[in-house]
Structure 1
Amino acid sequence: MNATNLAQRAYAPTTAPTKSNRSMEYDVIAKITYRLKKAIEADELSPLLSALHENRKLWRMLAVNVADSENLLPDDLRARIFYLSEFTNQHTTKVIRKTASAVPLLEVNTAILRGLRSEGPAS
C-alpha cells in the first residue's frame, strides 16, 4: 500500500452519517411498535408478554427523560409524554391480566411515531 492509498483510507468516511435524536427515537419506537403489532397479530402469549415488557421499559425511560429538569422539551409536551407513560403502564397491567386489549398501546406508539415523523427539522 502506498502513501496515497493510506491517506485516502485515513480520510474516508468510516461510519454511517450521524442520526438526529429524533431519528434515533423514531427507530427505537418503530422497532418496539413492530414487535408489539406482530405479537398482537400472532395472538400468542409469550411474544406478547415480551413485547409488552419492552414497550413498558421504553415508556418508563421516556418518563424519566421528560421528568429531568434539564429536558428542553416544552413543559406541556413533557407532561403529555409523562401522562402517556402512566397510561401505558396501567394499560399494560390490564392487558397482562387479560382484561384489556393491547391495541390501544399500539395506537399510542403509532401516534408518537407520526408526531416524530411530522415535526419540523430534526435536532
Structure 2
Amino acid sequence: MTAQLAHTSYTSARTTVGSLAQNEYGIIARITARLEDAMDLDTVTTGYARLAEALFENRRLWLALASDVAHPQNALPAELRQRLFALAAFVQVHSERVLQGSADPADLVAINRDIMSGLAGADGSHG
C-alpha cells in the first residue's frame, strides 16, 4: 500500500510540474500570438490600439515573471533567475520604445519564442 501511495504521489507531483510548464507555455503562446497579430495590422487605423493592448499584456506577463524569479524561494538556479529578471527589464523598456515607434515588436516575439522553446525542452510536450 505504501509503495502504491508513493507512486501515486510521485505521478501526481510530476503531472503538476508538467501542468505548470504547459500552463506557462500556453499563456506565453497566447500573448505571443496576439503580438504577432497586432504586428500584421495597419498601425494607422486599429492596429496601434491592438498593438498597445498586446504590449500591455506582454508587459504584465514579464512583470509576473520578474516577480516570480525575484522571490527568494524560487527554485531556479540563481544565474537563470538573474537572466530572466534582466529580460523582464528589457521587455519593459523595449515595449515603451515600440509604442513610441522607435523599436520593433518582433524582438519581443523572439524573446517569448525563446522562452517557449525552453519550456518545451523542459516539459517535452511541445514542438
RMSD, matched Cα: 1.7
Larger mean CA deviation between 112-121 and 95-104 belongs to 112-121
SS in structure 2 of the partner of residue 114 of structure 1: helix
SS in structure 2 of the partner of residue 73 of structure 1: coil
Distance of aligned partners of 1:21 and 1:120 in 2 relative to their CA distance in 1, 3 Å threshold: closer
Higher share in helix = 2
Residue type of the alignment partner of 1:73: L
The residue correspondences of 1:74-113 to structure 2 (distance < 5 A) are: 74-113=77-116
Aligned length: 106
Residue type of the alignment partner of 2:79: D
Task: Work out the percentage of aligned pairs sharing the same amino acid.
Answer: 39
Q: Deviations over 1:45-102 (max 9, x none)?
A: 0110000000000000000000000001110110111011000000001001111111
Which has more radius of gyration?
1
Task: Quote the Cα distance in structure 2 between the aligned partners of 1:74 and 1:121.
Answer: 20
Structure 2: unaligned runs, 5 residues or longer: 1-14
The residue correspondences of 1:27-106 to structure 2 (distance < 5 A) are: 27-43=26-42, 44-106=47-109
TM-score (norm 2): 0.78
